[in-house]
């Protein structure tokens, strides 16, 4: 290696490899420290020692990764391993689930959280994290909405890029950097019926306008790996879809990294009915552009024979192997393969990391409702903290917690007891009622000045393989709520979940509702800080909460249709039994205090090609305390060559105002903001009339018109 360039070294190493060893570099196997799929890798040590494994998942800690890395270094060619893991929202210090964190609308915070996760992962011997998940979804029945950034492609693209930057930094060989893996490519967030792993069927326009932008943004930010989706696209499974992986991803988008399948996705093509054998599935995947086979071992078993039979060429394998080896070089593995096996674990759950996790948890909560200013609560009153989630550390962490330890997390009760006199009662289980627990909860409420009910989903009720047709609170929890409300005590509802919930019943009965998602390691302390006013809620929804599951899938970015909604017209696009819009729309989120929003002004009614217009609005803090608001900019193209959404997010600004302060907030609109995929799916900016809308949510907007000249 000494004195050799990267290109020379990698080609010399490739030239010494047998076809079997090359197939080994494209083989990702799983260890036993976690279980994230249905198949286990047998004889892991033997395959590593023989050079039949290129990467390992579900193994972490310096000691465990060192043991396997030393086996790889004892193989005939001593090619080091890459270690990967599902680090979705933290490795040891767990921050809020990605859907919750996205509600902060704080890109810098998200990047810092990803950087913290990268540093803790690297300190655990890891090189590769299977994140960010950038799948857009408009259906909260799908459990994996917990892992994404919600329904909006523009915001999702900004978040995807921030997460990639946070994980990878500027130098993959840096001690605290890891490889990002963008997933799931593509369209995985739109399964029919919201059912995980189900068929996805959509138009090319929906792909280009709604689902592709976050993937593209992550690639443009430099993501080194992409994971294929489980679903098919136009009848061809993603892991065998050459149009998707080679023509689009590598050709049109210029991706230069490597592509890995999801868990056993290669051999699952037999279940799709598009491959008869493992060999057929392996051939299709390699032809499509897949570089690494996760856990199924079809590449390891079948590629040598496929080369011998002429079904694939050795050159195809070589191209994939070089992409994997190049990343190993860039990680510094050929220089020091044991570098990350010597880290001290002092960074894990450090004071600084916990502070960041608490900051993230505070900013992720969304105040859905606060009639008569019931929140924040006084610390000088007795609080009854009631509900099956009120003292659950595990549920505070949510799904996909990597190496997080629930014993080191803070529950709501932990946070409340540090703030005020607190009486605790469970009231019921997550999904099971109990008369004794119910009676205990009623007694606690009667002894208190105020009740805080903490209800919602357990951690198992969202995430992968956790789709639900009913996204209401379980009936036993609603029964608990009925009994607590009958006591007549003031009552605040705190909901925790991995998805938007259907809270129509609760909205009609509770004066204050705070949605807390799954907040992570420091969630209980952050929750108490917000409830008691040490911090004010600043979160805004990135996915609307429906009035009914009958509305799903649902998005604020709907197209107008030929018969758009008209409450007075019978033959218009609407429901007979409910409004069309969300109960709590995209962008909604209250804080403590009140703002006045003035009309939108524009500096010019006409925009020249290549020019700009500036829209602005004055906002005033009417409260007696400093307060923060996130103003959002939406645009609408009134007449275009293809039908455009009734509104699309194109900007946002967070504003903190002193009591009584007013400020003018401005947004500059450019051609890039007006561009869309034209009839040929190429970006186009057309002349015509537009609307610019500014407000605190996608439903509460002030409008001004302008024209773009030809």
Annotated active-site positions, please?
A: 262
**How far does CA 682 lie from the centroid of its chain?**
27
If you search the block for the tokens 């009609």, which residue do you land on? 508
Torsion of CA 72, 73, 74, 76, to 10 degrees: 90
Diameter of the chain by CA atoms? 79
Please choose, from the candidates 322, 344, 331, the residue with its C-alpha nearest in 3D space to the C-alpha of residue 69: 331
Structure tokens at 569: 């017209």
Torsion of CA 553, 558, 562, 567, to 10 degrees: 80
The number of beta carbons lying within 10 Å of the beta carbon of residue 242 is: 15
590, with CB counted inside 10 A (0-12, 13-18, 19+), is: buried
Helix (H, G, I), strand (E, B) or coil at 676: strand
If you search the block for the tokens 């270690």, which residue do you land on? 83
Torsion of CA 222, 81, 86, 169, to 10 degrees: -30
Q: For residues 146 and 462, is the Cβ–Cβ distance under 8 A?
A: yes
What is the length of the chain? Answer: 710
460, with CB counted inside 10 A (0-12, 13-18, 19+), is: middle
- Cα–Cα distance measured from residue 124 to residue 85, given in angstroms and rounded to the nearest whole number: 10
Neighbour order of strands in the sheet with 702-708: 606-607, 702-708, 688-695, 627-637, 648-657
If you search the block for the tokens 């959002």, which residue do you land on? 632
DSSP output for 110-132: HHHHHHHHHHHHHHTT--EE---
Q: 625 φ, ψ to 5°?
A: -130, 155
487: Cβ–Cβ under 8 A, 6 or more apart, which residues?
442, 445, 446, 451
Q: 550 φ, ψ to 5°?
A: -65, -15
Structure tokens at 10: 């990698």
- Cα–Cα distance measured from residue 234 to residue 290, given in angstroms and rounded to the nearest whole number: 18
Helix (H, G, I), strand (E, B) or coil at 8: helix
Please choose, from the candidates 601, 566, 588, the residue with its C-alpha nearest in 3D space to the C-alpha of residue 698: 588
If you search the block for the tokens 């570089």, which residue do you land on? 291
Bridge partners (DSSP) of residue 584 are: 545
- Cα–Cα distance measured from residue 688 to residue 113, given in angstroms and rounded to the nearest whole number: 42
DSSP output for 580-624: SS-SB-TT--B-SS-EEEEEEEES-SEE-TT--EEEEEEEEE-SS
Q: Is the bond preceding 581 in cis, omega lying within 30 degrees of 0?
A: no
The number of beta carbons lying within 10 Å of the beta carbon of residue 335 is: 11
Q: For residues 440 and 425, is the Cβ–Cβ distance under 8 A?
A: yes
Neighbour order of strands in the sheet with 512-515: 366-370, 512-515, 491-496, 450-456, 383-386, 422-425
Q: For residues 635 and 674, is the Cβ–Cβ distance under 8 A?
A: yes
Q: For residues 36 and 21, is the Cβ–Cβ distance under 8 A?
A: no
- Cα–Cα distance measured from residue 653 to residue 555, given in angstroms and rounded to the nearest whole number: 22
- Cα–Cα distance measured from residue 578 to residue 11, given in angstroms and rounded to the nearest whole number: 64
């Amino acid at each position: 290696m000494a004195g050799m360039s990267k290109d020379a070294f990698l080609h010399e190493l490739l030239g010494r490899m047998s076809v079997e060893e090359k197939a080994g570099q494209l083989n990702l196997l799983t260890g036993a420290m976690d279980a994230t799929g249905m198949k286990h890798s047998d004889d892991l040590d033997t395959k590593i020692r023989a050079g039949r494994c290129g990467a390992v998942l579900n193994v972490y800690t310096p000691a465990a990764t060192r043991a396997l890395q030393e086996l790889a270094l004892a193989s005939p060619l001593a090619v080091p391993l890459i270690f990967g893991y599902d680090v979705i929202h933290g490795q040891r210090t767990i921050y809020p689930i990605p859907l919750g964190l996205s509600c902060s609308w704080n890109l810098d915070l998200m990047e810092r959280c990803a950087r913290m996760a990268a540093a803790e992962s690297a300190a655990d011997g890891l090189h590769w994290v299977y994140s960010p998940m950038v799948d857009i979804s408009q259906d909260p029945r799908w459990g994996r909405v917990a892992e994404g950034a919600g329904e909006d492609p523009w915001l999702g693209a900004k978040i995807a890029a921030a997460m990639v930057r946070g994980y990878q930094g500027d130098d993959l060989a840096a001690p605290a950097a890891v490889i990002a893996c963008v997933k799931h490519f593509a369209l995985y967030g739109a399964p029919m019926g919201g059912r995980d792993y189900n068929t996805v069927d959509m138009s090319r326009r929906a792909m280009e306008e709604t689902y592709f932008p976050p993937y593209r943004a992550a690639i443009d930010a430099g993501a080194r790996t992409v994971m294929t989706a489980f679903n098919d696209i136009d009848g061809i499974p993603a892991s065998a879809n050459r149009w998707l992986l080679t023509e689009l991803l590598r050709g049109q988008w210029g991706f230069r990294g490597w592509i890995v399948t999801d868990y056993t996705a290669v051999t699952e093509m037999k279940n799709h009915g598009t491959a008869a054998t493992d060999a057929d599935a392996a051939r299709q995947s390699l032809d499509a552009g897949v570089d690494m086979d996760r856990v199924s071992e079809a590449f390891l078993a079948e590629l040598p024979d496929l080369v011998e039979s002429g079904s694939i060429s050795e050159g195809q394998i070589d191209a994939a192997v070089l992409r994997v080896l190049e990343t190993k070089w860039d990680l510094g593995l050929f220089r020091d393969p044991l570098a990350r096996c010597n880290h001290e674990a002092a960074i894990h759950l450090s004071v600084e990391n916990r502070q960041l996790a608490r900051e993230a948890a505070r900013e992720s909560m969304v105040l859905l409702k606060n009639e008569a200013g019931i929140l924040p609560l006084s610390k000088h009153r007795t609080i009854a903290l009631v509900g099956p989630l009120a003292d659950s550390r595990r549920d505070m962490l949510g799904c996909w917690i990597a190496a997080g330890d629930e014993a080191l997390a803070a529950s709501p009760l932990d946070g409340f007891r540090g703030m005020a006199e607190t009486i605790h009662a469970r009231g019921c289980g997550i999904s099971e009622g109990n008369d004794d627990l119910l009676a205990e909860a009623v007694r606690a409420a009667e002894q208190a000045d105020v009740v805080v009910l903490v209800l919602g989903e357990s951690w198992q009720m969202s995430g992968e393989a956790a789709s639900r047709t009913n996204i209401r609170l379980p009936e036993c929890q609603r029964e608990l709520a009925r009994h607590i409300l009958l006591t007549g005590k003031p009552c605040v509802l705190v909901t925790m979940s991995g998805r938007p919930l259907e809270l129509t019943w609760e909205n009609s009965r509770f004066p204050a509702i705070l949605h807390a998602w799954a907040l992570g390691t420091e969630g209980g302390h952050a929750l108490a800080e917000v409830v008691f006013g040490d911090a004010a809620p600043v979160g805004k929804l990135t996915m609307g909460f429906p009035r009914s599951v009958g509305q799903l899938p649902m998005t604020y970015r709907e197209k107008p249709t030929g018969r758009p909604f008209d409450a007075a017209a019978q033959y218009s696009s609407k429901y007979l039994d409910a409004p069309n819009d969300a109960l709590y729309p995209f962008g909604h989120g209250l804080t403590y205090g009140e703002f006045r929003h003035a009309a939108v002004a524009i500096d010019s009614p006409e925009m020249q090609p290549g020019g700009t217009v500036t829209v602005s609005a004055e906002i005033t803090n009417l409260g007696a305390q400093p307060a923060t608001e996130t103003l959002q900019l939406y645009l609408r193209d009134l007449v275009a060559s293809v039908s455009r959404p009734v509104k699309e997010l194109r900007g946002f600004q967070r504003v903190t105002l002193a009591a009584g302060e007013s400020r003018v907030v401005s947004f500059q609109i450019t051609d890039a903001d007006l561009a869309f995929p034209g009839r040929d799916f190429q970006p186009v900016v057309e002349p015509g009339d537009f609307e610019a809308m500014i407000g605190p949510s996608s439903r509460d907007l002030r409008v001004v018109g302008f024209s773009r000249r030809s």
